[in-house]
Structure 1
Amino acid sequence: MVTMQDVARRAGVSKSTVSRVLNGKNIVRPEVTQAVFKAIEETGYRPNLLARQLATQRTHFIGFVMTNALYNGPYFSSLVYHAAAFSEQHGHQLVLADGKHSAEDERNAINFLLDMKCAGIVVYPKYLSDRELTEIIQATPTPITVLNRSLEPYSVTTDHYHSAVMMMEHILQQGHRRIAFIRGSNGSVTGEIRYQAYCDQLAQHGLTPDPQLVVQGDWTPESGYHAAQQLIARKTDFSAVLSGNDDMALGAMKALMELGYTIPQDISIAGFDNIKMGEFVTPSLTSVSVPLEQMIQKGILLALGEKESANALSLAGELKIRDSIAAR
């Protein structure tokens, strides 16, 4: 394997001079710099960039922690895509660390990225509590940003409650009063917030939430499919379904249509997250957009210390009215 010493011999300089050239030091004469780069080309030397960056206590890495339980699905694939794209845009390489299946696994993933001397770290937590995250953040000088948690001043999130209120208002304005709800996974903060808004809006309109109209899902299309079957099997009247996310809404649509219902004429349906597929099903799915792209961009900017640019980004949700909801 070609070493830095081999390059130095070929260029007729010292090893420390080669190191200064590779580190961009301006104290090296131009002709020497040219000789070093020529020697690198001739020898085929590949510098160990990671070792060199670790030795100088800085890298151009952005760390990203997310448990593998969240990898599957368009929402999270879009999240990783934007994280990689914005890291590249800001001259950094995204390093993904798997948070696996527990709070300890998430902690280990963060520690791995800290050992990698990442310039900043973005965490989409599933298991770590707000208290644990705060302790980790305050114990290290490396900037760590938390996505989708209300953990000021370290978090980046959107107002899920307001977004759910907007959606419920729209459904209620269409004349629906018997509105079913498909909940997300147990323990999901986002899912609980959306469900609370559903209950609050019913109460505000003088309606009592009916437990028979609430079904548990787990964010997947399969769970939405089975949730819709459960709702029909209960033989409880309803004219609309609000799903905790679009994936479950699409699964519910399939189940309802297989059971002979026409959407939205018989049953209206809506979701959250505004995934791309929702635009291309028939009928197209009414949803609330989550500013995912802006959230991850803001998270990376904060992790890089660019607070002014980060704070200029809007993280408001937006109602996307399509064909899956009809007036009652």
Structure 2
Amino acid sequence: MSTMLEVAKKAGVSKATVSRVLSGKGYVGEATKELVYQAIKETGYRPNLLARHLATNTSQCIGLVVTNTLYNGSYFSEILSQAAKKLEDNGRQLILMDGKHSADEEREAIEFLLDLQCDAVIIYPRFLTPDAMDEIIDLHRQPIMVVNRKLRKHQSHCICCDHKGASFKATMYLIEQGHREIAFITGSLDSPTAIERLSGYKAALKEANIPQQDSLIAQGKWTPASGFAAAESLLASQMTFSAVVASNDDMAVGAIKKFSESGITVPGQISVIGFDDIPTAPFLSPSLSSVKDPVSDMMGEVINRLISMLDGGYLSRENIFTSALQVRDSIGDGPHIR
């Protein structure tokens, strides 16, 4: 294995110069940097990361904790790709850690990343409570940003989406199109996002003076199969409904398949709205109306805040982002307009 001294000899510079290039500390001319980088390439030198961390007190790595139940689907893919891209643009590396299936395991994942000397940690929590996350932020010097949850104490350390407001607006849009009997397919009810979206649906019915009918609320589990089963349950209830709001697009797709198999046309007889605006939504038949969360903007703000916390700088006050309804062919006029 080659050494830093061999790199220095190859580049025709001192060992101290190679060290300055690797650490980023101290001025080194661009021409000299190129000589050092070329020597590193030719010698196959790999710097000791632990030694570099100790010398610079920084790893240039940012950790991301996400429970593995969220790995499937386009929503997580967008979160991961945006985080990786924006960190790369800022010269940082992303390290992904599995939060697994409990609050304790999410906490262990955070601790593991901090033990790896990550400069900061992003967490998309499923189980940790806001109070627990506030406590974790208090205990550690490294910045920790929380995505998709509201914190009580450290509001500058969280970025959220207004899921209740988005669901309210989606349901109100259906009401404005003449729908009064509107069904709802929930996500897994151990998810704060699912609870907020259900709450927004209920708030819209109340706002429009439409009685809530519990038989028109079916529980799903985020998957197409659960959406299919929820639609089956709604049809079996014999309740009349002309529209469905599904808590994500995967369940909306499953519901549409069940309606199709039952000879029910979308949007002719039932209108459907989903959430997440998956890439295939515009290409389905009918094209799926969906609520688009501003994931790119949210992750951009998360990274900007972390960089500001690490390097010093301005922290914006905006931490709640608004979703947008993408209206497509799966919505038709309700019976009160036809």
Task: Tell me whether the two structures share a fold, i.e. TM-score over 0.5.
Answer: yes
- Counterpart check, 1:321 vs 2:327: yes
Which secondary structure does the structure 2 equivalent of 1:172 belong to?
helix
Which secondary structure does the structure 1 equivalent of 2:126 belong to?
coil
Equivalenced residues, count? 328
Cα distance change, pair 47–241 in 1 and its aligned pair in 2 (3 A): same
- Contact 2:160–2:319 (CA under 8 A) maintained in structure 1: no
169-178 or 270-279, which deviates more: 270-279
180-189 or 53-62, which deviates more: 53-62
In the TM superposition, what is the alpha-carbon distance from 1:231 to its structure 2 partner?
A: 0.9
* Aligned sequence identity (%): 45
- Pick from 267, 281, 285: which aligns with 1:282? 285
In 2, Cα distance between the equivalents of 1:28 and 1:296? 33
Post-superposition Cα deviations, 1:101-126, rounded to whole Å, max 9, x if no partner, equal 11111111111221222232211000
- Contact 1:242–1:271 (CA under 8 A) maintained in structure 2: yes
In the TM superposition, what is the alpha-carbon distance from 1:74 to its structure 2 partner?
A: 1.0
In the TM superposition, what is the alpha-carbon distance from 1:54 to its structure 2 partner?
A: 4.4
In 2, Cα distance between the equivalents of 1:272 and 1:37? 47
RMSD over aligned CA atoms reads 2.6
- Counterpart check, 1:119 vs 2:125: no
- Pick from 181, 184, 188: which aligns with 1:185? 188
**What's the counterpart of residue 194 of structure 1?**
197
- Contact 2:275–2:290 (CA under 8 A) maintained in structure 1: yes
In 2, Cα distance between the equivalents of 1:211 and 1:62? 44
- Pick from 249, 258, 267: which aligns with 1:255? 258
In 2, Cα distance between the equivalents of 1:156 and 1:120? 15
- Contact 2:156–2:319 (CA under 8 A) maintained in structure 1: no
**Structure 2: stretches of 5+ with no match in the other structure:** none
In 2, Cα distance between the equivalents of 1:189 and 1:32? 53
**What's the counterpart of residue 134 of structure 1?**
134
Cα distance change, pair 247–143 in 1 and its aligned pair in 2 (3 A): same
In the TM superposition, what is the alpha-carbon distance from 1:313 to its structure 2 partner?
A: 8.8
Which secondary structure does the structure 2 equivalent of 1:276 belong to?
coil
Which secondary structure does the structure 1 equivalent of 2:321 belong to?
coil
In the TM superposition, what is the alpha-carbon distance from 1:73 to its structure 2 partner?
A: 0.8
- Counterpart check, 1:144 vs 2:144: yes
**What's the counterpart of residue 75 of structure 1?**
75
Equivalent position amino acid for 2:131 in 1: R
Equivalent position amino acid for 2:285 in 1: T
- Contact 2:17–2:28 (CA under 8 A) maintained in structure 1: yes
In 2, Cα distance between the equivalents of 1:33 and 1:12? 11
Equivalent position amino acid for 2:329 in 1: D
**What's the counterpart of residue 164 of structure 1?**
167
- Contact 2:164–2:197 (CA under 8 A) maintained in structure 1: yes
Cα distance change, pair 77–22 in 1 and its aligned pair in 2 (3 A): closer
311-320 or 162-171, which deviates more: 311-320
In 2, Cα distance between the equivalents of 1:163 and 1:176? 18
- Counterpart check, 1:241 vs 2:247: no
The normalised TM-score by structure 2 is 0.88
Which secondary structure does the structure 2 equivalent of 1:65 belong to?
strand
Which secondary structure does the structure 1 equivalent of 2:280 belong to?
helix
- Pick from 271, 294, 298: which aligns with 2:297? 294
Cα distance change, pair 63–54 in 1 and its aligned pair in 2 (3 A): farther
In 1, Cα distance between the equivalents of 2:219 and 2:49? 49
- Contact 2:252–2:274 (CA under 8 A) maintained in structure 1: yes
The normalised TM-score by structure 1 is 0.91
In the TM superposition, what is the alpha-carbon distance from 1:154 to its structure 2 partner?
A: 1.6
In the TM superposition, what is the alpha-carbon distance from 1:310 to its structure 2 partner?
A: 5.3
